[in-house]
Structures are given as C-alpha cells and as structure tokens.
Chain A
Amino acid sequence: MKLLPKNKLVPIISSWAQRYTVLAPSSTEQGECVFDIFKEETFTLEYRKPSLPPKSQLLPQSDVIFRVEKGTFREVLPERNVLMFGIRSCDLMGLRQSSSFMSRDTQDIYYRRRSDHCLKVVMACAGPQNETCFCTTSRSGPSATTGFDLQFYDLGDSFLVESGSTEGDELLKAGNLADVDDKDTVEQVNALRNKAVAAITEVPDVTRAMEILSSRGASEELWERFGDKCIVCGGCVYVCPTCTCFTVADFPSGPDTGERIRSWDTCLYGGFTKEASGHNPRSTQGLRLKRRHEHKLLYYNQTDVQEALCGCVGCGRCSDYCPVHIGTLEVVKAIVEEQS
C-alpha cells in the first residue's frame, strides 16, 4: 500500500492522462456529475454512481465492429488505452462477471480488445451511495477484493492506495509515494471496510427470493402484474452492469461499402425473442420480466458469478431508474411477500 496525500491526487491523475484517456468523475455546468475525460477544472470527488455502469466503456451502446470499403474489409480498433478512475466495487464486479461471460465459450474479440486496454481504478465506498445500494448482500462491495489495477481508500486528507496488478504498480511509480505496508495500515483498511459494511443495509429478501425461485418459483400473476405496468423502456437492462445482450446490424452505404454495428439489445423487447414465424415464446411482458429476473437470480452461470452471490451486483440502478419501480429490490420484495 501507498499513501497519497489528497493534494497529490490531481497531479498523479494528470500524469496518467499523458498515457491514457482518463475517465473520471467530472461536474458539468449544470452541477451534474458524469464520468468524462479528465480535466483538472471539472474533476470532482463529490460524486455518485453515474447512471451508466462502466460496461458502457467496454461494450459501448453502439460499436462499429468493422467497415467494408470498396469491397475491402477493415476492422475498427479502439484507439487509445483507457483508465477509469473512481469506479465502485459493485461496478467492478459487474465488469468481472461480464468479462468472464464474454470469454467463456468463445472470446468476444471486440469486448476483449477494449477490456485489455482498460485500467480500473476503484474508489472503495465508505458507505451506501444511495438508498438502493445492497452490495454487502450481493457480495460485491463495499470494496473490491481483486480485479482492479488500483484501489483507493479515503482517509480524509489522504488516500491509501492498493495495487492489484503490475499495471497498478506501474501507475504508482509516477507518484513517488511512501510505502505504508505495516500492521496499522491493514487494520485501518479493515476498520474502514467494517464501518462501510455496517452502514450498508442488508437485504435478506434477495437470498430469500433466490431460494423461492429455485424451489416453487413466483406466481404467474406476480410477473403479469409487473408486466402490466412495464413501459418497455429497456432501461433496467441498459443500466445493469452485468447485462451484455446485443444485436448486430449491417448498414450498407453503397454497393460495396458499409458498416457492421453492434448495439445494446434487451430481452424486455418483444422482438428479442420473436421467431420468424411471428410466434413469440415469451409472449407477454410478464414472461419477459420473469426471464430477466430469473436470469439474474437463478440461472446465471456459476462460472461467471465470481465470488458474488448471483448475476446481480447490488448497484441498485434498476431500482433507481425504472420509471415504474420494477427494479430488483421491488421484485425480490414482491416475491418474498407473496410467499409469506
């Protein structure tokens, strides 16, 4: 571990920005915080999880994967190495699960290419970021155990910085920082972690709902009730750190030129499963919601879950951003209530 005084933070990020495109929390003129290209004047540490998880960096909402120009095929490669500063441990778990999924049966080379060129600097949480955080239940936070290049712990006027990779070690060389690998530091980190764990509410409904889904299941009526009010925006999927479904389409611009683009898709749209005959095996919005939530809480392949509880990392975004309150928290609550 290294100790980084807070007044050295901007200089060290600036030095990283020479070599990487640094994405960091930035405040806009409207006073909103987005993860954007690092600039000293807009950089801020007063931030919450952005509405989009960092998967949007590795699996962009739309991505030209290759171009055909006058009959010649040309792959489109990401141009620069990226460093994401200040992501949260739940989101890192999302990246770890997605990365595992995207390389499980075959390598998704487009994802892999962006992923290989992306450094992850985690900011450990000192407590919940909002009312919907449940990382301690889903075992994805409040700090990360592995998978990061660097992890920052906020001590007030300085940061303790933990390296998780050789790239991380490399990043720290820039700062000429003091080593603090003594027993006190370990205890300090543990104390911070314990304090954060205590501050984040456990949601036992999640594990109870998982048990119910794996035994009796929830009633059809419950899913249809959610289905009746779903406005089919797809937002829960788009903001989910572990949703990776995409669709691929070709856009010809001439007889021998064009692009192939892949873009985010969602299992909540009817067309996602509609067959060529016109038949749709998931014929109602209720069935589509059932599948999505069972995927997260029941079916998600064990090899992809890492040490987390399930395919949900507890970031709470689906509950924050569902226009009609059909997030994971509301769904697990309804499942448990129905059974009791």
Chain B
Amino acid sequence: MTNSIGEFEDADLFLITGTNTTAQHPLIGSRIINAKERGAQILLIDPREIQLAHFAVLHLKQNIGTDVAVLNGMMNIIIEEELYDKEFVEKRTEGFDALKALVSRYTPKIVQLISGINATDLERAARMYAQAPKAMILYAMGITQHTTGTDNVKSCANLAMLTGHLGKPSSGVNPLRGQNNVQGACDMGGLPVVYTGYQRVNDPAVKKKFEEAWGVSDLDDKPGLTITTMMEAAQRGDLKALYVMGENPLMSDPDTTHVELALSNLDFLVVQDIFLSETARLADVVLPAACFAEKEGTYTNTERKVQLSRKAISPPGLARSDWEIVVDICRRCGYDMNYKTIAAILSEINKVTPSYAGITYDRLRTSYGIQWPCPNEEHPGTVFLHKDQFTKGLGTFLPCEFKPPAEVPDSEYDFILTTGRVYYQYHTGTMTRRIEILEREAPEALLEINPDDARRLGIKNNDMVEVASRRGSVRLKAEVTPRVPRRVLFSTFHFSEAQINTLTNPAHDPVAGIPEYKGCAVNVRRCE
C-alpha cells in the first residue's frame, strides 16, 4: 500500500476493484463502510455483488479480465474532459503523450463493447474519481491474478498519477496483501530476482555487498525460477529437489494435476509445516514446525508496518521454529550460522536492508510497529509513499493495451470460472478448517451460479454439479445466487474435497508469473 490503514478515515472516494474487502480484509472493509457513513463515496468495479456493493454509489460489473480496457476508458474520459491533474502530470511524471495516444482509442463505446459497462456509467465513474479531492484505489487479487496482471497494476498506477491521486495523505494506490506476512516474504527476498528490500540479484554491487555480508563468494547473479516455472522445470526433470517451508502448492497452485506430476517427478522433496498438508504427504522428509504462537518473530502487514509477535507457549512434541531448523541445516552443510535469538537475525536484516535499517528489535518491542522505508533508528517510519518524488524520480506512465484472458468461453466450455475466497476460510484451509466454528460456517466448497443459468441447466440450490475445464473436473454443490452475473461461475480453493485448482489455468502473467485464477473457461452440468 502506498497509504496506511489510518488514512482511510480522511479519503473522499474509494475506487475498489478486485477486492472483496469486508470478507478478506474485514478491518479494512469496515473502515470503508464507516467512511461511506461519514459521506465518502465508494466506486466499485467488480463482476460480483459483494457486500460493499450495498454501499457503492456506482457499481460497474465488468466482464472478467477486461480491467485494462475499463481503466483506459476512464483515463480517456478524464483526458478528454481535461479533468486530469495538469500540475502533477507536468512536474512529477513522464510519458503523458504516449498514454494519451493509447487511451484515446478506448472510447466509452468501445469500452462498453469489451467490458459490458455502459458508457454513461463509465463517464460518471471517471468524473467521480478525477474530481474527488482525496481518492484511494484499493485492489487485491482480482486485479493481479490475470495473465495481464502486471498491465492491470500499471493501469491503476497510470490512473492515479494522471489524476494526482498519489503521494498525498489518503490518496494512493493500495494493493491489499492477502497473507499476514506476504509483504514481509517479499521484503525479505523470498523472490527469485531480489535480495532483501528489493535489491536485485543481477546488480553486481548488490551481489558484492551480500557476498561480503554473508562471507561467501560466487552468489548466483541470474534470476531464479518462480513457483510456476519451478513446477514446469520439475516436470521436465530439470529441477531435482524442492524444499517447501509452510506452503501447500498442491492445493494452491493452478492445474493441480500437473503440480502433482511435477512434485512426484522430483528426486527429493522436503516439506516443513505445522500439519501434514496435501503437499507434505508427497514429501521424502517432513519437518514439524512451530506455529505463530510458539515462536517469536516480526511480520510486515499490508501497509508496510513491521510488528513484533511474541512467543506464548512452547511447540508441541519435537516441533521447532522454522528459523531454528534452517540454522541447523545450514550448519550441517558446513555454513556457520550462530543466531540465538530473533533479535540477532533482525539486526543482520537491519544491516543489509536499507529500507529496514531503522526497524530494530528494541524499537518494535515498545511500539505498535514501524512502517518501511525506515532508513535509520531516528526515522519514524513512512506513513505514505511517493510524497515529493517517486523512488526513481519522475513517475513514468506505462500505458497498456487491453488483451483478453488466455482462455475465453467457447461453445464447448461456455462459462468463465473465477476463483476467490470466503470470509470464514483462509487459503488452502490448513489452519481454518481445523477451527470448528469457522468450519461450521463454511464447511464445503460451493459453486456460485446465476439463477438464469441455473434455470436453463435445471440446477437448483444445493444440487451436486460437475464443473469441467480443459484440465480436469470437480464435483461440488451449487449455490444459485444473483451475486454472480450470467455466464460467470465463482468458487474457492479452500477445500481439498473439491480442489478447484484442478480446473484453473496455469497460463500466467509474463512478468510477475502470477497465474490466471480469475478466469478460465469451463462448462457445468447437474450430476445425476
């Protein structure tokens, strides 16, 4: 997030797209509802009738995978009507002419043809966003989980820069991070192209810095594989061993049939987890880990705030903290690691990571967290990003053309399936499905289908249906609901009994490697 959660209280308008905020980030969602009550406007762009739709002054239901066209269309209107922030564009950005040229082709009529959003609504939305004094864009995986995920994100940024809704309090672009430390995992270099704090592996100066810090030579300077390409490499036989810590790719990755083949093709699979997950069942070695309550550590939330979590109890049986296990393996491999405490590890992170330099253990112990970038111990942390300039100086408009999803409905697979989450379950369900009360509230996978489609196919509420894509099929119960538009189906990936990722398309964004969970072509029939 470029802004902070506290800034929601002062925004005049929220453009919400691809986030079911009240279900997935409830304490951010509640702030949006409260904001509406104090007079802020909510502009929702989402194919589904989510809870926030009740509060939206305008709800645009775009065809799945047409976000770039919608955003370009809004920018076109804003430029045409001269509603953009000329001062901001002139002083802080570059590439405006290219943007203008590209988006000028996205007239309201053309956008209506692509996205199904009527031209008047689009115009209204564009004006509302542009004219709001302080506007925040919020998005989550509804924007990113597309083959055009990077383009979608760039288009959100283009829109914010064009209108000057960036680098100010309560104005910015705010991706909501889905897991409690997904921000931290990225910040800590759990990515194939960067070390901590997004320092690139192929930068010779960075390589040298880490070689010195870690007392090693010949660090790899080529970008590594992403999850999706790891699975492809395993299937080809190029990848021989995989060490998985606290993840369940067999449930969470697209096209699980192929993931299973890939994992089975490995010579050696290590899984470190708190439960014997679907992935752990395939492992050669399973290492029992401590859960969050049983260890100390810091976590970075969606607003870049690092917070300290304490150890409340000891782990069960012989289970050990993930960090202790890793230290032990490194030592057995002949690499000396001598950390005794979380504080010692964090102190090393402070030294090698400029954006975390001032986020020390002692400061976290006595505070409610510190937001990066925090370059030194005197720095209070950064509430919102890009205040006077962007990291790289001027913000460059990166205009994108609309591209359809990798798979679109045809006569054989005539529906588009979009996947997501429900309020009561979390990710692959490893934790929440063991919590009795949450499991009672959402005990099984449901397939949302529009009443018109259901009627046509003879499907009633709670009927068992079979959904099939080019990659497999799944049986689950139907929920007939106007929440989804016609020709769109929705389901979740929490339930191993109905592994929805058997169906999803592994086609991914060429830059970010993110798979297209939000749209694949399927058909559906009632089971006899």
Contact = CB atoms under 8 A, between A and B. Distances in A.
Interface of A: 29-31, 228-229, 231-233, 247, 249, 263, 265, 269-271, 278, 323-325
B273 to A, nearest CB: 18
A231 B50 CA distance: 12
Q: Number of contact residues on B: which range applies?
A: 20 to 34
B30 A323 contact: yes
A323 B26 contact: yes
Contacts of A324: 30, 33-34
12 contacts: A31-B366, A229-B54, A229-B55, A231-B30, A231-B51, A247-B436, A247-B437, A247-B440, A269-B437, A323-B27, A324-B30, A324-B34
B275 to A, nearest CB: 13
Given A231-B33, A325-B37, 19 more contacts: A29-B365, A30-B366, A228-B51, A229-B33, A229-B54, A231-B26, A231-B29, A231-B30, A232-B423, A247-B436, A247-B440, A265-B437, A269-B437, A269-B440, A270-B441, A271-B437, A323-B26, A323-B30, A325-B34
A271 B436 CA distance: 11
A284 to B, nearest CB: 13
Contacts of A232: 423
A233 B54 contact: no
Chain A interface main SS type: loop
Interface string B437-471: 10011000000000000000000001000000000
A29 B366 CA distance: 5
A229 B26 CA distance: 11
A263 B365 contact: no
A30 B33 contact: no
B370 to A, nearest CB: 13
Contacts of A29: 365-366
Interface in B1-30: 22, 26-27, 29-30
Query: Which A-B residue pairs are the 5 nearest by beta carbons?
Result: A323-B30, A271-B440, A249-B436, A271-B441, A228-B54
Interface of B: 22, 26-27, 29-31, 33-34, 37, 51, 54-55, 365-368, 423, 436-437, 440-441, 462
B368 A263 contact: no
A237 to B, nearest CB: 12
Contacts of B365: 29-30
A42 B90 CA distance: 56
A247 B441 CA distance: 13
Contacts of A271: 437, 440-441
Contacts of A30: 365-368
A278 B443 CA distance: 12
A207 B195 CA distance: 62
A228 B52 CA distance: 9
Nearest to A229: B33
B177 to A, nearest CB: 19
A186 B24 CA distance: 56
Contacts of B54: 228-229
A265 B54 CA distance: 27
Contacts of A265: 437
Nearest to A247: B437
Contacts of A231: 22, 26, 29-30, 33, 51
A225 to B, nearest CB: 10
B462 A278 contact: yes
Nearest to A323: B30
A312 to B, nearest CB: 22
B26 A233 contact: yes
Nearest to B443: A271
Contacts of B37: 325
B487 to A, nearest CB: 27
Contacts of B31: 323
